[in-house]
Structure 1
Amino acid sequence: MGLSIVSLTICIAFSQKYFACKDLGDKIRFVNKICCTHTTIPTVLRLAYSSSLGSDLASQCLAYSVIDKEKLDIAHKLLTLGCASDVTSGRLKLAAFYLIQDNFVMAEHVLHRIHENYTYLVSHCRSTPTEEALFKILENNLSAAEFVRQYVAFPVLYFQSEIHCMPQALILNMFVSSRPRLLNHGPSQCVYVDPQFFLHYLEYQCYFRQGRTSHKMAALDNMLWVVYYTNLEYRDSAFSLLACCLMQEEMYINAWKVLCKSMRLQNENNAAMWQIAFLIKYAFRFLRMRQ
């Protein structure tokens, strides 16, 4: 079972590179092809890429001033199907889609579901499963695919084709960051976010736009705790999103500290440098308004 999960993660890493450089038609044919094989790896791939297909299609719809309602409904169905890929990544993409549509009720419902099911037994599912994870498999007599669906939190992955369905701060990271880890383990034009942090970020955005002050500040506190006290894999993405939230709260000094911390950790090919420039502009505008 342990070897099966490792093989699964290696297969996903290689297929991501293939998936990123194809157009939507090729992606659909790729997903249809893996649907024909009823084994563990194709099953998980089909569900994982349903989310990417839905987000890709939704991004194409949102790129135009007149939205194709029929295509957007298909995108929603694909995103819903992709929720079964793992504990978090598919559901987080669906919640982000609802936020873009200003459907706060459904976004909050999806985020609550993630909280109820959230476990982190295999960090990113990119390493050898822990003893605790293998014990869960044996205890519950689970298949590899079912174990991934119930107990694994994949990082959230956005391709360049999904640009209209992702936070603006991540767009900067996608084009600026060129770390060897991304080039070796995933397509170059993409961005990853740790699922635990992205969950709190989406909660903040949902509560911020609803004007629920106490809830949004709790989500902001959770983001700060995750960034500074947990072992994140993609810290620069987290710092970029956190700085944007602090700027939304007009907490410019705090945002400055966060971005400087990001630059100390990675001083080259870091989108934080661009965000610092934006922060200076916002700060001067804020000072002029106060005078």
Structure 2
Amino acid sequence: MSRVPDYAHNLSLKMSQVMDRICVSEKIVMKRRISGLLRESLFAFNHKLRDKDLNVFLFGSQIEGTTTPGLQPDVDCIISIKNYNVIQDLSAWQNGKVNLLMIQNENVSPGYCLLQALRGDAPLPQEVEVDDNFYRDRMGRLLLKNTMFDGLHDAVRNGPAHSFQGVPGLEDSDFVAALPCDLRPVQAQHWFNQHGEEHWPTSGMIQYCSNTRCFVVGVGKTGIANEKFEWRISTSFAERFLMFTLNITQIRCYVLMKMILKTFIKQRFPNSISSFMCKTVLLHCISDTRSDAWKENTLFTCLSFCLLRLYDCVQNEYCPHFFITQNNLMSGRFTPETKPLILKNLRYVIENNRRALLGIECDYFGSFLQSSLNGIEIYIPTHYMPTFIAWDILKNSALAISIEVKVLLRDVNNLSPRLAMQKLLKFISNHYFQNFIFENRKAYRLLSRYLFSTLGSILASLNINQQDNLAFKKALSCMSLGLDTDVASGKLKLASMFYCTGDNVRTELILKNIEECYDLSAVEPMCGCYFFKYAQPREKFYRLCYESIKECALLKDITASCVCFIKCERNCCPLELQHEMFRSKQENIAYRNEYEYWMDMAVVDSLPYLYFMQYKTYSRLGRQDDKQKALSNIARTIDVEPNLGHRETALNLLGQCMEQENNVENAFKCYARSHQIRGRYNWAKIHICKLLNKLINN
């Protein structure tokens, strides 16, 4: 990096400017990381509460913040099976777990291992064959096959990953099933034992990495005899930590490498150079240089240095893993036919660097850079605006919360009220809270609010006709802890409870408070029940998403989750909405996918439900003008709000209001429109039949 062209300084600044404009900025990177860690904590919280024998961790460019819209990243998830204990020494054997001994010798590829089965009652080799997932080798050892996770439901296999698309509340995701290993791998001991100096990685970083867990994932070295039995050692936690320590210039350099890869290499040679190789090359380059060499005005020089290093790696077919240096990531990666062509493309990029940069099609980088160099104002499409990206990040967090709440409620939906309360109390007990690590406590606070709201509603529903003041006070206390879930949903459940107890005055007060807090110019509905494409949000919502980095406060102030009632809350749910709990008949359940469990609950968007509750309350109070205004607001919301997740339910509620107004024609239109939106699992069919029967009999 010693010889720097005269134009490099100005070009670097222009490149940095363009990267900032397409949202590879410190603020957006930080937002992506906060959101990713929150979602990871939500998964951890949910699985712990439900006593699931697995953990889910997020890795890759989304949580690192090293992505752009044009790179189209998936969410990389590692599913760690907790009941397994992968050990490197028999002294780490644990009773009650499936213990597997890592075998790493000269017959095993570097960066990989074999897993030998051990007995469950003693740290000794397993002699008896367990099942078809094990294979006895020539030495008599029972080895675990790396194909044991094949056949995951609705997944497409891609190396060790299983790809899921259209999962509610999540972007398209690559899930990698893995087994945990709490000890650092023997093959990486040399890296962990090095003494960090002042430059990157420092001794503190090395110490932190040495304490992170690793995984083994089910994929072997391609083309070898042991391919079905080798397991790849993954140091994803250590890699993620190091990526979190990079400055914005280093992150931009990595993103540019991926853009160049996509423009000049991937189209013709899709399985040649991977993003992980680019990341590894970047880490080696940072390790070999001084930290102060990576500045905004040296971006071009740093990128050139990384590309030269990548070229050498391809030419020598040698790219050592950053932690396990014996593992050559490029071994056997290129054919004699493709290697010269790949080198030719890389050489073109290196020798014609400025022209190559202008030729980057990904994210319009080349066009934007040309405009910037010519002094022309850059026009950025909407989906590259920082405000849009910030909205998308917040939306993903809100949808993750929505779906995790419903997963928890699914487990209690068909229980008796008392059993449901016991399970919810177990979920939100102090014992669970105290056992969470610090990062997961934010997720605990977010989800527990929804659970408190449901717990209070069940308690009130159970005692609604028993005039039990003590139980009612307890219910009110629980529901008060769930008022700050978001702008409206927790308060709407409280209003429903008062409405169903006949307390119209307090119902009206709560509804009025919700309406005052629900800023129609800023608040966006959020529903993670099923996958649908969100329309462009409000301008004020955009701005607030970008300006604030306090994600939890944003979720509380400018998002409105759908309101959800499970069956044992029935007495605190208006009769018109109770029908939705029974929309799915037994014979139709077979047609549902595994993510449609919310159909056994009554779920409605907050805003139309607010107006529906106003209509019902004002009807009781005899305030005709307010009642008609609420009715008009329901109809207007259904027509103009683009992001309603349960529009058909809102139409069913509006239809029943129309029936109560003796407006049969419009009631029928509401039900017909509802049925058109969702033909199966919709109570609108029953409403239509009842309406026709009523008309015929009259």
Identify unmatched segments of 5+ residues in structure 2.
1-30, 39-393, 413-419
User: Which sits farther off after the overlay, 100-109 or 121-130?
Assistant: 121-130
User: Which stretch shifts more, 183-192 or 193-202?
Assistant: 183-192
CA distance in 2, matches of 1:69, 1:136: 42
**Quick one: distance in 2 between partners of 1:200 and 1:29?**
35
Q: Deviations over 1:87-144 (max 9, x none)?
A: 01001111111111222221111111111111454430659997854642553x5522
Matched, 1:102 2:502: yes
AA paired with 1:237?
T
Displacement of 1:186: 5.0
The worse-fitting range, judged by mean Cα deviation, of 203-212 and 271-280 is: 271-280
Query: Is 1:124 aligned to residue 532 of structure 2?
Result: no
SS at match of 1:184: coil
Q: 1:25 aligns to what?
A: 422
CA-to-partner distance for each residue in 1:3-40, whole Å, 9 max, x for gaps?
24435642541342233323210111101255445632
Partner of 1:86: 486
| Alpha carbons 2:634, 2:654 under 8 Å: kept | yes
Distance 1:11 1:219 in 2: 29
Which residue number in structure 2 is paired with residue 242 of structure 1? 654
Alpha-carbon separation, structure 2, partners of 1:88 and 1:26: 25
- Whether 1:227 and 2:638 are equivalent positions in the alignment is yes
Shift of 1:193: 0.5
Q: Distance in 1 between matches of 2:487 and 2:618?
A: 22
Answer yes or no: is 1:61 the counterpart of 2:469: no
When structure 1 is superposed on structure 2, of 126-135 and 168-177 the one drifting more is 126-135
Give the TM-score taking structure 2 as reference length: 0.38
The CA deviation at 1:157 is 1.1
User: In the alignment, is residue 115 of structure 1 matched against residue 515 of structure 2?
Assistant: yes
Q: Which residue of 2 aligns with 1:173?
A: 580
Q: Is it true that 1:52 corresponds to 2:454 in the alignment? A: yes
CA distance in 2, matches of 1:11, 1:218: 33
Hey, which of these two has a bigger chunk of strand by percent? Answer: 2
Structure 1 residue matching 2:481: 3-state secondary structure: helix
Quick one: distance in 2 between partners of 1:275 and 1:51? 30
Q: Secondary structure at the match of 1:97?
A: helix
The answer as to whether partners of 1:137 and 1:143 remain within 8 angstroms in 2 is no
Range 166-175 or range 198-207, more displaced: 166-175
Alpha-carbon spacing, 1:224–1:15, altered in 2? closer, same or farther (3 Å): closer
Shift in Å, 1:78: 1.5
Q: Is 2:402–2:527's contact at 8 Å kept on the other side of the alignment?
A: no
Structure 2: how far apart are the matches of 1:45 and 1:159? 16
With 272-281 and 158-167 compared, the bigger mean Cα shift is at: 272-281
Q: Compare 216-225 and 266-275 and name the one that shifted more.
A: 266-275
**Cα distance in 1 for residues equivalent to 2:657 and 2:402:** 31
> SS of 1:259's equivalent?
helix
What is the root-mean-square deviation in Å for CA atoms of aligned residues? 2.8
**1:139-154 equivalences in 2 (<5 Å):** 139=547, 141=548, 143-154=550-561
Checking the alignment, whether the CA contact within 8 Å between 1:40 and 1:144 is kept in structure 2 is no
Query: Aligned-pair distance for 1:227?
Result: 1.6
* 1:241 to 1:24, Cα distance in 2 relative to 1, 3 A: same
Find the aligned partners of 1:55 and 1:181 in 2 and give their Cα distance. 28
Deviation at 1:69, TM superposition (A): 2.2
**Contact 2:398–2:555 (8 Å) recurs in 1:** no
Amino acid at match of 1:189: D
Normalized per residue, the structure richer in helix is 1
Indicate the SS of the match to 1:250.
coil
- Residue type of the partner of 1:148? L
Does residue 16 of the first structure (1) align with residue 427 of the second (2)? no
Out of 38, 56, 70, the position equivalent to 2:470 is 70
- Which amino acid is the alignment partner of residue 83 of structure 1? L
1:194 paired residue number: 605
Q: Which one-letter code corresponds to 2:477 in the other structure?
A: K
User: TM-score normalized by structure 1?
Assistant: 0.86
How many pairs align?
A: 283
What does residue 136 of structure 1 align with? 544
Provide the C-alpha distance between the structure 2 equivalents of 1:138 and 1:187, rounded to a whole number of angstroms: 31
Specify the alignment match of 1:204 in structure 2. 615
Q: Secondary structure at the match of 2:487?
A: coil
Given residue 205 of structure 1, which amino acid in structure 2 is its aligned partner? Answer: K
Question: Is the aligned partner of 1:263 residue 2:675?
Answer: yes
Identity, % of aligned positions? 24
In structure 1, distance between residues paired with 2:627 and 2:449? 31
Asked which structure has the greater RCO (Cα within 8 Å, sep 6+), the reply is 1
SS at match of 1:84: coil
| 2:662 alignment partner, SS class | coil
- C-alpha spacing 1:271/1:183, structure 2 compared with 1 (3 Å): farther
- The residue aligned with 2:221 is none
* Partner SS for 2:425: helix
The one-letter code sitting in structure 2 at the alignment partner of 1:276 is I
Q: Which amino acid aligns with 1:277?
A: C
CA distance 1:149–1:46, shift in 2 (3 Å)? same
* TM-superposed deviation, 1:155: 0.8
The 1:164–1:70 alpha-carbon spacing in structure 2 relative to 1, beyond 3 Å, is: same
The yes-or-no answer on 1:160 pairing with 2:567 is: yes
Q: Output one character per residue of 1:154-192: Cα deviation in whole Å (capped at 9) or x when no partner.
A: 111111221111122322222114798985165452121
Query: 1:15 and 1:97, CA in 2 relative to 1: closer, same or farther beyond 3 A?
Result: closer
- Comparing 66-75 and 22-31, the one that deviates more: 66-75
Give yes or no for contact 2:488–2:518 (8 Å, CA) kept in 1: yes
Change (3 A) 1:234 1:137: closer
